[in-house]
Amino acid sequence: MPPRGPRAIQKPKNAKGTFTRLLGYLKAHRLRLILVSLCILASTLISTTGTYLIKTVVDDYILPLKDQYLAGTSVDFGPFLRFLLMLLLMYVAGAAAQFFYNRMMMMVSTSTLNRLRKEMFDHMEDLPIRYFDQRTHGEIMSRYTNDTDTLREFLSQSFPQAVSSAFSIVFSLFYMVRLNVWMTLLVLALTPLMFFITATIGKKSGANFVAQQKAVGALNGYIEETIEGQRVVQVFCHEEKAKEAFEEKNEAVRVVGTRANTIASMLGPIMNNLGHITYVIVALVGAVLIVNNPEGASLGMLISFLPFTRQFSQPISNLSQQFNIIMQALAGAERIFDLMDEPVEADDGYVTLVRAKKDEQGNIIECQERTGMWAWKHPHKADGSVTYTECKGDVVFENVTFGYVPEKTVLHNISLYARPGEKIAFVGSTGAGKTTITNLINRFYDIQGGKIRYDGINIEKIKKDDLRRSLGMVLQDTHLFTGTVKENIRYGRLDATDEDIVKAAKIANADFFISHLPDGYDTMLTGDGANLSQGQRQLLAIARAAVADPPVLILDEATSSIDTRTEALIEKGMDELMKGRTVFVIAHRLSTVRNSQAIMVLENGVIIERGNHEQLLAQQGKYYQLYTGMFELS
Amino acid sequence: MKFSRILKNYSGKYGKYLLLCPLAMIGEVAMETTIPMMTANLINEAIPYSRNTGDLSHVLLYGGLMVLMAIASMGFGMLGSYLSSKGAYGFGRNLRQALFERVQTFSFKNIDRFSTASLVTRLTTDVNQIQGTVMMVVRMAVRSPIMLIMALVMALRLQPALVTILAVAIPVLAFAIGLIMKLAFPRFQIMMKKYDALNASVQENLIAIRVVKAFVRARHEKEKFEASADDVTATQRAAEKIVLWNGPIMTILMNASIVAVLYLGGQRIVGGTMLEGDLSAFITYITQILMALMMLSFLFLGFVLSRASIARLSEVLEEQPEIVSPDQPISTVADGSIVFDHVNFSYQGDPNNLVLTDINLRIRSGETVGVIGGTGSAKTTLVSLIPRLYDITSGSLQVGGQDVRKYDIHALRDQVAMVLQKNVLFSGTIKENLRWGDEHATDEEIFAACQAAAADDFIRSFPEGYDTDLGQGGVNVSGGQKQRLCIARALLKKPKIMILDDATSAVDTATDARIRQALRTQMADTTKIIIAQRITSVMDADHILVLDEGKVADYGTHEELMQRSEIYREVYTSQQKGVA
């Protein structure tokens, strides 16, 4: 392993490994890449040969013709013209090669990026919720934006340029050696200096770019946060303060940005002019050679040799400028691969959910058609037999213990049961662990101790997708997707008919407001449903769960933003929705949970009371206090 | 706004760097175009001279001159790098600052017009785009034409007749580049749109990952994403396919010109009107001229690309704040009395599309007023008018006996504390966030406000107490805790009017009651307006306003409303059902 810089964000941690892995992606385009290399080879060979052939033009055509002219013999420009036409033809071939490799490289880079994006997204969708908890959206997003952008630049530009530069160096060396070995050695002796300067500047600008990246990150974070909270800024007359804080961060970006950019953009003129200086040194030494040893070095040789010092130094400066981009691209690729290497949500379940019906004997059998009945298909490894258990919605927690982080337990020894068709409510102050319980039923998180059984089956044995399919959820934060209202409701069940959707919307009492939208059910919702009120969004979320028609429903503050009158209106619909289903309800509003079969009062991750409304009132405990608390003021 | 205007208006004290940079570039170009001439002299004159005489002085002279020029060129180049970076980053800073400050003057109506995400993009990506263009402009806009002219002059001095080659090459190149850009630009725009859509879909998935997982829709989302990714790839290919022609066309034109120079120049050398060394110098000049043209085309492309960014920035910079303080503002608010007199309001200012219709209310200073009403009954809109977050469409609205439009906005808002429904906390510690209410608040005052907002207990339960870092957007606290912090923050303002817009929806009923109790005893002189869903949150208020579809349906005490307001009774019974 190469030594790592302490905070070198720009530098890949494992450049070699990342590069090898990236090559793996390019393997699919092996044939194309071979052709690309051949075309680059042809194109650079032609351009270096072109430089070399100028010597031929001068030495073999122009000068003899001049001699002929001076001698007074007739001058025939025919062969000269033919040679030049050949040269032109060669150049056209070179340009064609250049076109082909650019074109093929474009195809390679676009399809590689396409594949990387898809694989990254594919993988991301399968990551556990925990992964998303631990990272900001911006952090994950930048892999799709910045990191893929630098990678695109690398594949479509830096990669062919680097290959072409390498070929150029080799060919120039070849022609230089043919012209004069000693002068070639001189040029080679001057090269390390260029490398040294490039490396020094590169290192310096690298460090400065890291600093810039950091400052820009801080500034962008501040912009995002302030604009997001712009209304609060105004309500608190905090505009001046915000300007000051912004100015400070803005100035920091300017200072480090100026520094990083100055150093990086100096590389061009420095390398370019070092090329000129090399040129002069070579010319001087050449002249000395000619004076001292006219046999070993001719004027013609020197004239042809000189352009090669530039042909040789240019690709070196080119390579040096590509180096930073390549490093950045590898760092980006590494972050992309990091995401792809994150372990996906583990799923060892083998019990699946199937459509079922009862045969004449009353046995549950699997079937294809829609019956409204579902069963757990439970294969037994031991004897290869398969048993079916009806999916009814019987949920049991046995001494469940859980914490988001191992050090901090959120739920302590929770035991509870919900019989099929029962409505179970969780009541308690914020942070008591109500949402956590529902997050465990659908296995967003895995428990650390105890057992959760679903229709008698340990939920760890159930395939996660099937488990979640059997649970309809209306989450605390309502999220809608870009698309029409109809598409958003259909999210609950992709094969739902338009009638199903309208029916579900009616249950949620959303039909009324939807039909008043500009395009009714075909109204486009944008940006997380920003054009709807919070309450309307919740109604849509309920309709979405209704269309899914699951045996178990989880309503996490599903009606918190709906006013009680509307809630009263949808109550009938909700009752219908809940009929025959096991329902878990979380609500602050006690009126929402009153008619539950069992109410659990949670406090600090422990169930402190359980019972129905009347029983709990009779107990005169916490629930009683909460409930009567409503009246102490009247 | 034009590029030049934006450059002029926002370069400020960095303008001199931007003006000096082209001078450095001219110096660099002067050296760069003279060096080939020196090379030609070295080859034509100095080296043959030293071969013939054994005297190296001429070689040393020209060589020395060339080295000096190279060093000078390097110096000018480095200076140009410094000046352009300093100037462009300074300009970017000023532009960003101006944008941010403009956004700070926006009223709610202005903010409604731009989405948060679009404002963020404008302040980040668009500013960077223009900053990059500025850097390129100061380096290239002068450099390339000068390079073109100087190389042309040098070429003319060498061999005027050969310059005719350029008369063919330049128009062909210009035409080709123009055509490529014309075809490519709209395709790039399509590609950018697809790319935005792709990013939006990733973002959406990040936000709604729980929904995706709960409904087992990963496959569905993957399919959607794949279609979107394929779209990006297809449009990208369509655009890049066009741009690809740039390189080869340039190569062919350049080399064809060189071949032409070789042929015509060769004839001249044979005829004795040109020297061999001039040939390579001439080739260098032709290359420089065509490269300068190419650079100009890139510059042009940069201009075109930044046009969209400039347009987006202009929208923000030219957006007039809807609400500003009057010329001679009143700077003190006498008391917390509020009078709505035939107030009508429409977000578009359209009297035919009113959100609030004919609101008449008289609220005495120190009163507690509850506001009840269904979703969409314009409760939030009504209270937003009090601190002048929006201006009324017609009628009159008075606070402290004066029309709200007569106050200095900050003076008014300092006295009207509002806890918004969609509230936010900022990164920083709890204490820093609370100080938003009063930056000079003592620790005791902060503790007292938190006790009143029922936040003190949970804050102290954190290992770092009041110094707990909240993280961006206050992600480290739960919804109910966030609401209580927001209330405490507003309490610290010690306002004359306090508005709670459904500010305790995530707080349990007992805590809610405690908070209201504290408000009543500790802020007796403050007018309190409480919007709530729970009837218990408002039933002890002095008056309760029942809003229905933007109209006052009723106004009275709990008992009065129970008797005469059907809507109120309905809400009440819907919440109290089952109570013995």
> What does the angle CA B333 – CA B336 – CA B341 come to, to the nearest 5 degrees?
95
Tell me what pLDDT residue A381 has.
82
What pairs with residue A402 in β-bridges? Answer: A411
Task: Please indicate, yes or no, whether residues A465 and A366 belong to a single structural domain of this protein.
Answer: no
Structure tokens at B294: 């190419």
Q: A412 vs A346, A403, A437, B300, CA distance in Å?
A: 24, 9, 11, 67
Q: Report the CATH number at residue A156.
A: 1.20.1560.10
If asked whether residues A358 and A403 sit together in one domain, one would say: no
Is the separation of the CB atoms in B501 and B420 below 8 Å? yes
**Which of A276, A288, A492 is closest, CB to CB, to B70?**
A276
3-class DSSP string for B31-58: HHHHHHHHHHHHHHHHHHHHHHHCCCHH
Is residue B217 a contact partner of residue A482, using CB atoms and an 8 Å limit? no
Contact A459, A467 (CB under 8 A): yes
**Distances from the Cα of B486 to the Cαs of A418, B121, B380, B434, in angstroms?**
37, 28, 17, 8
Q: Domain check: are A54 and A173 in the same one?
A: yes
* Average pLDDT rounded to a whole number, residues A299-312: 80
Q: For chain A, what is the mean pLDDT?
A: 84
Domain boundary among A367, A390, A413: A390
C-alpha span between B578 and B569 (Å, rounded): 15
**Residue A36: its pLDDT value, please?**
94
One domain, residues A457 and A384: no
- Residue A463 predicted with pLDDT over 80: yes
Residues A325 and A375 in one domain: no
**Distance between CA B156 and CA A286 in Å, rounded?**
30
- Write down how long chain A is: 634
Could you tell me how far CA B459 lies from the centroid of its own chain? 34
Q: Which residue has the higher pLDDT, A352 or A297?
A: A352
**In this predicted structure, what is the pLDDT of residue B370?**
94
A313 versus B88: the higher-pLDDT residue is: B88
Q: Which of A80, A146, A231, A470 to mutate to probe the B interface, most B CBs <10 Å?
A: A231
pLDDT (mean) for A474-490: 84
Q: Which two tokens stand for residue A270?
A: 């420095």
Residues 274-303 of A with CB under 8 A from B: 274, 276-277, 279-281, 283-284, 286-288, 290-291, 294, 299, 302-303
A374 near A551, Cβ under 8 Å?
yes
Element (H, E) at A6: none
- Report residue A101's pLDDT band, with 50, 70 and 90 as the boundaries: very high
Which residues in chain B come in under a pLDDT of 70? 1, 115, 117, 375-376, 471-476, 574, 576-580
CB neighbour list of residue B270: distance below 8 Å, 6 or more residues apart: A62, A65, A66, A68, A69, A75
Is there a single domain that holds both residue A433 and residue A530? yes
Q: Which domain holds residue A361?
A: 352-390
Do A430 and B480 count as a contact with CB atoms less than 8 A apart?
yes
> Of A308, A343, A378, which residue constitutes the final position of a domain?
A343
Same domain, A476 and A380: no
**A415 and A323 fall within a common domain:** no
Contacts of A214 (CB under 8 A, 6+ apart): A9
CA–CA separation, A344 and A127 (whole Å): 4
Q: Decide if the complex's ipTM is over 0.85.
A: no
**Does position A369 have pLDDT exceeding 90, yes or no?**
no
Between A149 and A20, where is the model more confident?
Answer: A20
Sheet of A364-366, strands arranged across: A364-366, A352-358, A374-379, A386-390
A296, part of any domain: no
Of B320, B317, B426, B427, give the one whose Cα is nearest residue B97.
B317
The secondary structure of residue B407, as a DSSP letter, is: B
Residues A437 and A376 in one domain: no
Q: Does the pLDDT of residue A626 top 80, yes or no?
A: no
Cβ of A530 under 8 Å from any chain B Cβ?
A: yes
Q: Judge if A339 and A401 occupy the same domain.
A: no
Distances (CA, A) of A462 to A152, A231, B579: 42, 46, 41
pLDDT band, very low/low/confident/very high, at A631 (cuts 50, 70, 90) = very low
Query: C-alpha angle with apex B561: B560 to B566, nearest 5 degrees?
Result: 140
Whether A108 is covered by a domain: the verdict is yes
Check: pTM over 0.80? Answer yes or no: no
Is the CB of A626 less than 8 angstroms away from the CB of B509? yes
Which residues are CB-neighbours of B185 under 8 A, at least 6 positions away?
B304
Chain A residues with CB-CB distance to B76 below 8 A: 269
Which CATH number does the domain housing residue A481 bear? 3.40.50.300
Instruction: Decide if B511 and A106 are in contact by the 8 Å CB cutoff.
Output: no
Clarify whether residues A325 and A379 are in a common domain: no
Residue A244: which residues within 8 A CB-CB, separation 6 or more? none
Which residues, listed in sequence order, are joined to residue B551 by a DSSP beta bridge? Answer: B548
Listed ranges A41-45, A480-484, A607-611; the one with the highest mean pLDDT: A41-45
A445, A376: one domain = no
pLDDT band at A296 (very low <50, low <70, confident <90, very high): low
pLDDT at B543: 94
pLDDT at A142: 79
Is A205 a member of any domain?
Answer: no
Taking only the tens place, the pLDDT of each residue in A601-616 is 887 788 888 888 888 8
Residue A589 pLDDT more than 70? no
What residue has token string 């250049």? A98
pLDDT at A524 over 90: no
Q: Which of B 495-534 lie inside 8 A of A, CB atoms? A: 505-511, 513, 516, 533-534
Looking at the domain assignment, is residue A227 inside a domain? no
Domain count, chain A: 3
Q: Which of B473, B32, B42, B550 is closest to A269 using CA atoms? A: B32
Q: Is residue A261 part of a domain?
A: no
Q: Residue A611 falls within a domain, yes or no?
A: yes
Q: Specify the pairing of strand A395-402 against strand A386-390.
A: unpaired
What is the set of domains in chain B, with CATH numbers?
3-159+274-317 (1.20.1560.10), 338-576 (3.40.50.300)
